Amino acid sequence: MDIERINDNTLKLFITYSDIEDRGYTREEIWYNRAKGEELFWDVIGEVNTDDYFDLDGPIWIHINASESGLEVVVTRAAVNNDSETSSMIGSFEDDLHIADQLNEMEESIFNAIGGKASKEEEVLENARFRFKDIDELVPLAERAAQIGVPSALYKWDNYYYLFVDLQHLEQADARNVVALCSEYLSASKMTLHRLEEYAETIIAEDCFETIISYF
C-alpha cells in the first residue's frame, strides 16, 4: 500500500487489487460483501492511525475512488480549534460520518472503473468489455464462465484481444457476479461494442467461452 501525506490533516492511500488479495480478500467480497469491505477499510485505517502519520480519533472524511488497478482512499482528519469544535473545513460533513456511506460510494466508483458511469448503472450491467494481451489469459476464465452460459464474443484490435460479455438477459445480481468473475482474470475496458464491431477483427463471433475450452 502506498501512502502519501498531502498536508497535516490529509493522507492519500493507494492499494492495488493484488495487495487486497494478499490481505485475504477477494474482489467479489470487496464489491458485494458490505461486512468484508468495511473490515478491509478499517484494516487500512489501522495502519495509518499511528504517530508516524496522524491520530485519527474524532471525525474524519473519507473519499474513495476506484480504478482498474486498485483503490485510492483520501482520508482527511477534522481540524479542531481550541474550543474542541471542528473547523469550517469539515462543517459540511456530519461529525458521525458512517463508513457505510463511504462503502456505497466505493461501490459506485468500482462500477465506474469496470465500464460505465454510476448514473448509468443499468446500462453498465447490460454488457461488459475486457482487454488482454495473450489468448492464454482467457482460458481459465472460459473454463468457469462456460458453465454459466453467458453470451460472449472475442475481438482483436491493435495487438490486444477484447472480450465482450452480454449481460442484458441476466438478473442484476447474476450480472454483477459475471463481471466480478471476469475481473479476476482480465482488465476491464471502456472500448464500446460499436467500435469493436466497426474496427476490430472478429475472432469468435459468439459463444466465446465454449469455443475457447473446446480448443484448449
pLDDT attached to residue 68: 73
Residues 10 and 54 sit within 8 Å (Cβ to Cβ): no
| 103-119 as b/e: b if 16+ CB within 10 A | bebbbebbbbbbbbeee
* Residue range 85-93: mean pLDDT, rounded: 41
Mean pLDDT for the stretch of residues 190-196? 85
Q: Which of 61-70, 84-93, 193-202 has the highest mean pLDDT?
A: 193-202
Query: Which residues are within 8 A (CB) of 184 and not within 5 positions of it... i.e. 6 or more apart?
Result: 26, 27, 141
pLDDT of 51:
53
Confidence of residue 78 (pLDDT cuts 50, 70, 90): low
pLDDT of residue 204: 95
Residues forming a β-bridge with 11: 5, 75
Q: C-alpha cell of 183? A: 475481473
pLDDT digits (tens, 9 = 90+) for 114-160: 444 334 444 446 889 999 999 999 999 999 998 888 999 999 998 89
Per residue in 41-57, pLDDT (tens digit) is 777 777 776 655 556 56
Q: Is the pLDDT of residue 86 over 80?
A: no
Q: Where are the domains of the chain?
A: 2-113, 120-215
For the residues 32-39, what does the mean pLDDT come to?
73
Residue 87 has pLDDT above 80, yes or no: no
Q: Is the pLDDT of residue 4 over 50?
A: yes
Under DSSP, the state recorded for 82 is: T
3-state secondary structure string across 161-209: EEEEEECCCCCHHHHHHHHHHHHHHCEECCCCHHHHHHHCEEEECCCHH
How is residue 76 annotated by DSSP? E
The Cα 98–Cα 109 span in angstroms is: 18
How far is 165 from 193, CA to CA, in rounded Å? Answer: 10
* CATH class of this structure's domain 120-215: alpha beta
pLDDT at 85 over 60: no
